[in-house]
Structure 1
Amino acid sequence: MTTRTRLSRARRASGVVGTPVTSGSSAADATFWAQHGNSGAGHSLKSFDVPERDVRHHRFVGYVASNGGIDPWDSPSPWAQGTSRLAATPWS
């Protein structure tokens, strides 16, 4: 992830979450919303501009991933657990 400064945002570019602002970026690639966790617990984060994809970690990097796509981070196993987060206080 990029270093957080005031007014900075986690952005999505080429599937990677946390990339710096580049030309051609829009507010949509920095917008995510929480929903009930795909595993049945916690929360999952959806990408605003690619709503069929969820934030998922793969090899210590966050990606906007699909369930069963062509990239390594799109693996359907274990999809529900890999896209769900349990937030602890004060985040919950």
Structure 2
Amino acid sequence: MTVLTVTVSPSLVAKPFHLAFTRPVVEIDGIETETAWGTTEFTLGSGQHEIAVAFRYRGTHKAKLARARHELAVADGTERVRLTARLGARNGSSFTITEE
């Protein structure tokens, strides 16, 4: 199994707002997990995976805003994969997901 580390961060300009009023959502192969801003670890098997990151306002359960997708190929024997998802500074910006 491979450990997937996902670090989700808002822009510095909007960070106080997002820490107070929003929660990030990480979706792996269609299964979503509401997380906290910062780093979260998941376990993946080898193969192709679709990773998506979005946020929603606290108290809401359906809307996913600023959603971005990333296709991830995990080879057999890979121990750890790190992704960083950063939210853009402008209102209406989406996340940018990069693989380290």
TM norm structure 2: 0.27
TM-score (ref. length: structure 1): 0.28
Between Structure 1 and Structure 2, the one with more helix by share is: 1
- Higher normalized strand content (fraction of residues): 2
